[in-house]
Amino acid sequence: MSKKSLISGITLFKLVFLFLLVCIESFAREPSIQLGIDYLEESKFSVLQGKRVGLLTHPAGKNGRGESTVDVFVRSSDVNLVALFGPEHGIYGDEKASVPVDDKIDQKTGLPVFSLYGKFRKPTKKMLSEIDSLVVDLQDVGVRCYTYISCMRYVMEACFEEGVEVVVLDRPNPLGGEKVAGPSMDEVCMSYVGAFQIPFVHGMTIGELALWSKKVSGVLKTEEVNRKKGKLVIVPMIGWTRQMTWPQTGLSWHPTSPNIPTLDSVAGYPMTGLGAQMGKFKHGIGTEHPFRFLTYEGKKASVLKSELDRFQIPGLSFQVKTIKKADGESIEGVYIIINDWSSWQPTALPFYMMQLSALWQTPSPFTQASESEIALFNKHVGSQTWWNALEKEGGQVNTKLFLAEWNAYSAQFKTTVKPYLLY
């Protein structure tokens, strides 16, 4: 064999090898489930045929191939997309938390974008006047106070009142369909960060929440006649089961909001999002580990770890770690490790954190709070009883007793909603 032929052979081998690598990687990334948007596209958008369509979505609203639902709709001759609707953070996810978003014209599509986190939280009659069907494609994180499910409730109410069909494209609950935990929602505490009387971690998909809302009287805050006549279509997932973790779906994780960039932060959100609301805790926002990295002002990381270890919280362990913040400053804190998913209780940690805040801070932050701070706290937690206990008992509060009560409530809730589960 000549040198030239040998080189050609080697080059050909390299090309074939690279081709095989690409094929293997593509196969490895192939999702094991079909999302609602995938099933809708496969069915040639049959439920939207001949209708003027609005779309409520955000950056995590993508199909299994990672394509934006907006792009999927725009390129299809089967979909007459006439308007976009944006939740908190906007349709492109570039708006900060709790910051109102204005209506605008989308530069990419030329379509109007109606903000549902600005002047209005609930679509107006005018917004819906040119729409026959409003499609909801939002990736939830399985936590009650995450406002995308609140946005969906308000959309359902408005659409049912105006005779507009609601189509929900279902997506996995990234915490799975079996994790249900945390306090219930007192009706007096209901708000946009607690629009459903469900456990803090609810264990339902967004499609299941929509179905339950449609079928059960009183969940939607609208007249019964509107609920009963309202049109709801759930486009289900294919292949998803309640036992699945997110990695088992084969799907990539797309950030649902600026501080939920990874799956680690999804699991961290119910663990620390509440615990840092009062007192001197920080929960990693602005670091590489949002909601998974704890510090407490005036306490060494080793002391914090020791105290957290003492509580023996099922499924968790803690590691002292030094990381850099976005500004380059090094900071020592405690990284939260989930070492046993099956025994992990998503909402246990934040209430022990609150107990520590009451124990370590003098005067207790729960005795010095303003009326507005108390109201906001209870809107997130949902339980006035817990606040009253913290205010009265401070660091001696019986956290285990509350957790046991809430676990019993969660078990009852799972039984109550079982008829409305799709998977």
- Give the Cα separation of 180 and 407 in Å (integer): 8
- Give the Cα separation of 145 and 150 in Å (integer): 8
Tokens 């009183």 sit on residue: 218
Most confident of 19-33, 80-94, 305-319: 305-319
Q: What is the mean pLDDT of residues 21-44?
A: 75
Q: Which residues make Cβ contacts (< 8 Å) with residue 412, sequence separation at least 6?
A: none
Q: What is the mean pLDDT of residues 278-284?
A: 93
Tokens 């729409």 sit on residue: 131
pTM: 0.91
36-170+205-242: which CATH topology? Rossmann fold (3.40.50)
- Residue 57: pLDDT band (50, 70, 90) is very high
Percent of the chain scored above 90 by pLDDT?
Answer: 86
- Residue 326: pLDDT band (50, 70, 90) is confident
- Residue 358: pLDDT band (50, 70, 90) is very high
Token digits for 254? Answer: 């797309």
Tokens 């986190």 sit on residue: 117
pLDDT in tens, 262-279: 999 999 999 999 877 789
263-420: which CATH topology? Aspartate Aminotransferase, domain 1 (3.90.1150)
Q: What is the mean pLDDT of residues 273-296?
A: 92
SS3 at position 284: coil
pLDDT at 29: 58
**Whether residue 4 has pLDDT greater than 70:** no
- Residue 5: pLDDT band (50, 70, 90) is very low
**Bridge partners (DSSP) listed for residue 333:** 321
- Give the Cα separation of 236 and 238 in Å (integer): 6
**Bridge partners (DSSP) listed for residue 85:** 56, 114
pLDDT at 10: 40
Which helix (H) or strand (E) segment is 127 a member of? helix 125-128
**Whether residue 14 has pLDDT greater than 80:** no
SS3 at position 296: strand
Q: What is the mean pLDDT of residues 336-360?
A: 97
Which residue would you say has higher pLDDT here, 393 or 90? 393
Cβ(395)–Cβ(358) below 8 Å? yes
**Whether residue 12 has pLDDT greater than 60:** no
pLDDT at 159: 98
**Whether residue 128 has pLDDT greater than 60:** yes
pLDDT at 11: 41
pLDDT in tens, 60-113: 999 999 999 999 999 999 999 999 999 999 898 777 777 888 999 999 999 999
Distance of CA 115 to the CA centre of its chain: 19
- Residue 325: pLDDT band (50, 70, 90) is confident
Q: Which residues make Cβ contacts (< 8 Å) with residue 56, sequence separation at least 6?
A: 84, 85, 86, 87, 116, 134, 135, 136, 137, 138, 151, 152, 155
Q: What is the mean pLDDT of residues 241-252?
A: 96
Residue spans per domain, the chain: 36-170+205-242, 263-420
**Whether residue 242 has pLDDT greater than 90:** yes
**Whether residue 240 has pLDDT greater than 90:** yes
Q: What is the mean pLDDT of residues 151-177?
A: 98
Average pLDDT, the chain: 92
DSSP assignment of 332-395 equals EEEEEEE--TTT--TTHHHHHHHHHHHHHSSS-TTTS--HHHHHHHHHHH--HHHHHHHHHHGG
Parallel/antiparallel/unpaired status of strands 112-115 and 104-105? antiparallel
**Whether residue 24 has pLDDT greater than 50:** no
Closest by CA to 213, choosing from 192, 196, 231, is 196
